[in-house]
Amino acid sequence: MICVVADSRDLLALERTREFQGSYHVLGGLISPMDGIGPEALSIQQLLHRLDPENVQEVILALTPSVEGDTTSLYLARLLKPFCQVSRIAYGLPMGSELEYADDVTLARALEGRRTVE
């Protein structure tokens, strides 16, 4: 399993949770046409070289919930789906927050990312 992050700060944040037991891949940024950053500026080719079908069954996209993060996630998902399962971390409300103060996009994503109560 490989978890894809935009930069090393994101990797460190995920490591603090001690929940992920796999390898990381740092892209070195996000696709941002407005800033002149295309897929070729990121370490996407290196990620493709790491995809060994014997060892990598899933790639988790842990990218920022922004226009750039969504663009990068969509690009990578289309590129990687023929090789392995691709998932994306859920987005939603932070612990301790109040629903009434959440923006519409955050609430919508929280509803989309819902899970069955066990």
Look at residue 108 in the predicted model and tell me its pLDDT.
83
- 33-39 long-range CB contacts below 8 Å, 24 or more apart? 39/75
Is residue 118 one of the residues assigned to a domain?
Answer: no
The answer to whether 109 and 92 are in contact (CB under 8 A) is yes
Is residue 104 one of the residues assigned to a domain?
Answer: no
Residue 65 CB burial class (10 angstroms; 0-12, 13-18, ≥19): middle
Residue 8 is encoded by which pair of tokens?
């090393």
1-32 per-residue burial string, b: 16 or more CB within 10 A, e: under 16: ebbbbbeeebbeebeeeeeeeeebbbbeebbb
Look at residue 72 in the predicted model and tell me its pLDDT.
95
Q: Mean pLDDT in each 10-residue stretch from start to end of the chain (118 residues)? A: 93 89 94 94 94 85 90 94 90 78 82 74
- Domain with 38 in it: 2-91
Look at residue 117 in the predicted model and tell me its pLDDT.
64
Is residue 45 one of the residues assigned to a domain?
Answer: yes
Is residue 100 one of the residues assigned to a domain?
Answer: no
Look at residue 60 in the predicted model and tell me its pLDDT.
92
Look at residue 46 in the predicted model and tell me its pLDDT.
95
Look at residue 66 in the predicted model and tell me its pLDDT.
86
Is residue 116 one of the residues assigned to a domain?
Answer: no
Is residue 46 one of the residues assigned to a domain?
Answer: yes
The answer to whether 68 and 32 are in contact (CB under 8 A) is yes
CATH code of 87's domain: 3.40.1360.10
Look at residue 9 in the predicted model and tell me its pLDDT.
93
Is residue 111 one of the residues assigned to a domain?
Answer: no
Number of domains in the chain: 1
Is residue 22 one of the residues assigned to a domain?
Answer: yes
